[in-house]
């Protein structure tokens, strides 16, 4: 009698474990498929199928598991068109879904001091954004919201700097450093590109290397932990962090790498096959048009309103030579 009872329990436990596993697998698969849908819509939005993409993203807003990222992508479409007033509420709703309940109540000074910390990085930007918004600083608030969501989107990964990537990808690095992407920071120095600056109504003798209006697009990870910072004189650590993120670095296009390099180290050490989905799951980006449009958009002072970046025309020599991957499967 006792034995039968026990085996019954065992069976129930087994069944429970199995069904949990099955549910998890289905949920995982479903989440993966949802992300594929978001990615596809985000690509469509930038390749002429705007209405279709927006409809697809709006339908994903209703599902809890995709509401945050769908809201982010919808907001980004407007943000990258310079329509901050439309981006703002979408970003804000997405963040309030990610961080339901009341906010901590910390003041602006306390939050600003925490900006370069990894822990809670997206929530801190959300809270600081809310404070900025309440003080009428709309543009600043929208940027903070966007950064908070981009941190969620890259699974909290931070910037590690170009030297780390170089240590394993020397070939890509040596061709990248000859491209214009490697020197976008130089352009901001006084006297550089004087003629072009004059044409753009910039002061050719002014030093723009500390101007927050320029750094977002002429450096990598500005405003995100580990990314570019304006270093105070004598702060050696910040100076190193700045130097590692000058220009459009690897992470400027592939996304922050702190989490993916752990996997890449393992691939290298064990010479093992991998799929891109492994890297995607920790926020790594397969470089495509979405890697470019955060900078190549009408907010670039050199562009007219309504400007649209055409990937196919620009995906040429200005990234780096492409080298066949050895371990990547599918
Ligand atoms: C929204 C992103 C963005 C911002 C903000 C931005 N830039 Fe740029 N900038 C770009 C891009 C993209 C290019 C390359 C444009 C191209 O060739 O299509 C560029 C090119 C330039 C050039 C070279 C122009 C040429 O014709 O050679 C200069 C100079 C420049 N930027 C200065 C600045 C300064 C100064 C600021 C701040 C006041 C600034 N940029 C802010 C994105 C930006
Ligand atoms: C301006 C954007 C940009 C920058 C900056 C950039 N990449 Fe890429 N990278 C791309 C694109 C685009 C691809 C090709 C994606 C595809 O398959 O269509 C790519 C592909 C790759 C690949 C896959 C193999 C290959 O060579 O195609 C590796 C590895 C890579 N990049 C590493 C790096 C490293 C390391 C750096 C920095 C030294 C870097 N990338 C900087 C855009 C960029
Ligand atoms: C972090 C911002 C940023 C990102 C991301 C970025 N770019 Fe750029 N890009 C710039 C800036 C700034 C310049 C201007 C450099 C200069 O004039 O020296 C530029 C210049 C270029 C140029 C040269 C234009 C010219 O007139 O000579 C090409 C081509 C280009 N980018 C393509 C791309 C592509 C393709 C991607 C995405 C795979 C990309 N960029 C991603 C900021 C960016
Ligand atoms: C410890 C070594 C190591 C470091 C550090 C490293 N990678 Fe990699 N990475 C690899 C290996 C190994 C692969 C797989 C290469 C292959 O299949 O040939 C890879 C693959 C990639 C790919 C291709 C992804 C794909 O499947 O499309 C990109 C892009 C890339 N790395 C970019 C970067 C960037 C950006 C950095 C810096 C943030 C970086 N890597 C740092 C070892 C490294």
Which residue ranges make up each domain of the chain?
1-153, 157-330
Query: Cα(156)–Cα(225) distance, rounded to whole angstroms?
Result: 9
Query: Cα(173)–Cα(165) distance, rounded to whole angstroms?
Result: 8
Ligand 2 environment, Cβ below 6 A: 162, 165, 169, 172-173, 176, 181, 248-250, 252-254, 287, 291, 315, 319-320, 322-323, 325
Query: What string of pLDDT tens digits covers the 330 residues of the chain?
Result: 333 334 444 444 444 444 444 444 444 455 567 778 899 999 999 988 999 999 999 999 999 889 999 999 999 999 999 999 999 999 999 999 999 988 888 999 999 999 999 999 999 999 999 999 999 999 999 999 999 999 999 999 999 999 999 999 999 999 999 999 999 999 999 999 999 999 999 999 999 999 999 999 999 999 999 999 999 999 999 999 999 999 999 999 999 999 999 999 999 999 999 999 999 889 898 889 999 999 999 999 999 988 989 898 888 767 888 889 999 997
* CATH architecture for residues 1-153: Alpha Horseshoe (1.25)
Beta carbons of 178 and 209 less than 8 angstroms apart = no
Ligand 2, pocket-test mutation among 244, 320, 321, 330, most atoms within 8 A of CB: 320
**Model confidence pLDDT, tens digit, residues 53-95:** 999 999 999 998 899 999 999 999 999 999 999 999 999 999 9
- The number of helix segments (H) and strand segments (E) in the chain equals 17, 0
Query: Cα(137)–Cα(158) distance, rounded to whole angstroms?
Result: 26
Query: Cα(102)–Cα(201) distance, rounded to whole angstroms?
Result: 45
Tell me the CA distances in angstroms from 293 to 39, 46, 103, 158, 179, one per residue in order. Answer: 14, 8, 32, 20, 18
Beta carbons of 312 and 280 less than 8 angstroms apart = no
CATH 2.40.10.10 fits 157-330, yes or no: no
Structure tokens at 294: 């955060």
Ligand 4 environment, Cβ below 6 A: 160, 164-165, 167-169, 250-251, 254, 257, 261, 264-265, 267-268, 276, 279, 286, 325-328
Please list, residue by residue across 64-93, b when 16 or more beta carbons sit within 10 angstroms of its beta carbon and e when fewer do.
eebbbbbbbbbbbbbbbbbebeebbebbbb
64-79 vs 138-153: helix axis angle to the nearest 10?
A: 130
Backbone φ and ψ for 219, nearest 5 degrees, come out as -135, -175
- 113: exposed, middle or buried (Cβ count in 10 Å: 0-12, 13-18, 19+): exposed
State the first-to-last Cα distance of the chain, in angstroms, to the nearest integer: 54
**Same fold across 1-153 and 157-330:** no
- SS3 for 219-237, per residue? ECCCCCCCCCCCCCCCCHH
- Among residues 70, 74, 72, 89, which one has the least CA distance to residue 130? 89
Query: Cα(131)–Cα(40) distance, rounded to whole angstroms?
Result: 34
How much distance in Å is there from the Cα of 168 to the middle of ligand 3? 24
Query: Cα(293)–Cα(253) distance, rounded to whole angstroms?
Result: 10
Beta carbons of 159 and 245 less than 8 angstroms apart = yes
Place of tokens 């900078």: 295
The residue whose CA is least distant from atom 15 of ligand 4 is 325
Q: Is 59 in the pocket of ligand 3 (CB under 6 A)?
A: no
Structure tokens at 132: 């900025």
The residue whose CA is least distant from atom 36 of ligand 2 is 250
Q: Which ligand is nearest to the CA of 184?
A: 3
The residue whose CA is least distant from atom 25 of ligand 3 is 180
């Amino acid at each position: 009698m006792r034995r039968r009872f026990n085996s019954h329990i065992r069976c129930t436990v087994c069944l429970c474990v199995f069904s949990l596993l099955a549910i998890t697998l289905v949920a995982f698969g479903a989440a993966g498929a949802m992300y594929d849908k978001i990615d596809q819509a985000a690509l469509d939005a930038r390749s002429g199928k705007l209405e279709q993409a927006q409809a697809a993203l709006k339908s994903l807003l209703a599902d809890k598991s995709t509401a945050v990222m769908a809201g982010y992508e919808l907001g980004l479409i407007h943000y990258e068109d310079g329509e901050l007033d439309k981006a703002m509420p979408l970003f804000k709703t997405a963040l309030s879904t990610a961080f339901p309940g009341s906010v901590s109540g910390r003041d602006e000074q306390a939050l600003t001091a925490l900006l370069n910390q990894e822990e809670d990085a997206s929530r801190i930007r959300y809270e600081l954004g809310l404070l900025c918004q309440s003080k009428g600083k709309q543009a600043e608030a929208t940027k903070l919201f966007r950064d908070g969501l981009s941190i969620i989107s890259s699974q909290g990964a931070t910037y590690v700097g170009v030297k780390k990537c170089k240590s394993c990808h020397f070939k890509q690095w040596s061709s990248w450093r000859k491209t214009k992407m490697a020197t976008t920071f130089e352009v901001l120095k006084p006297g550089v590109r004087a003629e072009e600056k004059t044409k753009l109504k910039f002061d050719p003798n002014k030093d723009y290397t500390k101007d927050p209006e320029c750094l977002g697009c002429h450096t990598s990870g500005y405003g995100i932990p580990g990314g570019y910072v304006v270093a105070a004189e004598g702060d050696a650590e910040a100076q190193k962090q700045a130097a590692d993120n000058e220009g459009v670095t690897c992470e400027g296009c592939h996304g922050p790498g702190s989490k993916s390099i752990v996997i890449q180290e393992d691939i290298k050490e064990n010479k093992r096959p991998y799929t891109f989905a492994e890297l995607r799951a920790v926020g790594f980006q397969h470089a495509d048009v979405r890697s470019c449009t955060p900078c190549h958009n009408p907010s670039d002072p050199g562009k007219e309103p309504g400007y649209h970046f055409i990937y196919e025309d620009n995906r040429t020599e200005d990234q780096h030579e492409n080298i066949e991957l050895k371990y990547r499967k599918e």
